[in-house]
Structure 1
Amino acid sequence: MHPDTPSPPGDPTRSVLRMADVGFDAPAALLDRFGLQLRHVAPGEAIPGSFWGDEEAGIIGTTVYARDDTPVHSLLHEAGHLIVLPANRRPDVHTDATDSIEEEDATCYLQIVLADGLPGVGRERLMRDMDAWGYSFRLGSTRAWFEHDAENARDFLKSRNLPHA
């Protein structure tokens, strides 16, 4: 199946972009702009700080952990959690960084915006991958939420001078 061919929503076996598809250099440079580090975890090793386990990215302090099989959307989501936090709270983070629905919404929005900073990814592809993975939004799709129901997330990001467009 071509990677851009849609699959049924919630089917994580579909071909979402993985870190092996985009490499680690561009994501590391993107995270560095926000004072974060990206650590490459060896194949088969457990990902430190992963909330969901398996191939999902992990966070500890200012470091985001990922393997080659980690979905790009997962890396950007976990990095987004750290980015929306005030810098003085980041060192205390281990595995779970969300304190509120507002932060979670802002993180989802930010991961979409950040995708434009990765060659070969972009927001359109990331939103399709989020839908395929099973992210759930009340308007039915990531795109519908992003375009029509995410004012609170944009306001949250704007108030903290974070990317929001």
Structure 2
Amino acid sequence: MHTAVLRLADVDGSAIQSLLARYGLRLIKVDDGTAIPGSFWGDEEAGIIGHTVYARGDTPVHSVLHEAGHLIVLPPERRAEVHTDATDSIEEEDAVCYLQIVLGGTLPGVGRAQLMADMDAWGYSFRLGSAQAWFEHDAENARAWLVAHGLLTQAGDPV
């Protein structure tokens, strides 16, 4: 279990629910200690089924945003088919990592710096050694993918 990260119970859950709702998604909180439906990694990691992200209070915020990002990058008609594993596309995975950082920056009490530190603490690996270095110096392809798919503005803001 990874403990040095921001958890869902530590932030305003309604802000995350509102953010996900903008993309036609919903967040369902499951009881502490119970298995999270649709969780690829198990333990406290968020799960996805259809248009829903599942999480507990001990679920890391970065996990909620990452799994939500997998659903956001998919066309709505493909979301309905998702259960646990959303993609095997490297381009989509990169886009999801970039998007979760951008979305974290929109949430009160989270922010980009915290989200990137949490990604590093969890064990995301990037060629440049950290999420921040990747985001700032090596993620042009992910950013371009999100812009091309209408999920980010040219300025890099979420749509």
Normalised by the size of structure 2, how large is the TM-score? 0.94
Match of 2:3 among 10, 13, 16: 13
Amino acid at match of 1:137: F
SS at match of 2:68: helix
SS at match of 2:36: coil
Match of 1:158 among 141, 147, 150: 147
Unaligned runs of 5+ in 1: 1-10
**2:42 maps to 1:53:** yes
Amino acid at match of 2:136: E
Aligned to 2:123: 134
- Cα RMSD between the aligned structures? 1.1
Match of 2:66 among 77, 98, 113: 77
Unaligned runs of 5+ in 2: none
How far apart are 1:98 and its partner, in Å?
1.2
**2:71 maps to 1:95:** no
Contact 1:24 1:40 (C-alpha < 8 Å) held by counterparts: no
The structure 1 segments of at least 4 consecutive aligned residues displaced by more than 6 Å after TM superposition are none
Amino acid at match of 1:12: H
Mapped partners of 1:57, 1:153: distance in 2: 22
Amino acid at match of 1:13: T
Mapped partners of 1:112, 1:162: distance in 2: 13
Aligned to 2:21: 32
Mapped partners of 2:73, 2:88: distance in 1: 11
How far apart are 1:100 and its partner, in Å?
0.4
SS at match of 1:59: strand
Identity in percent: 72
Q: How many residues align?
A: 154
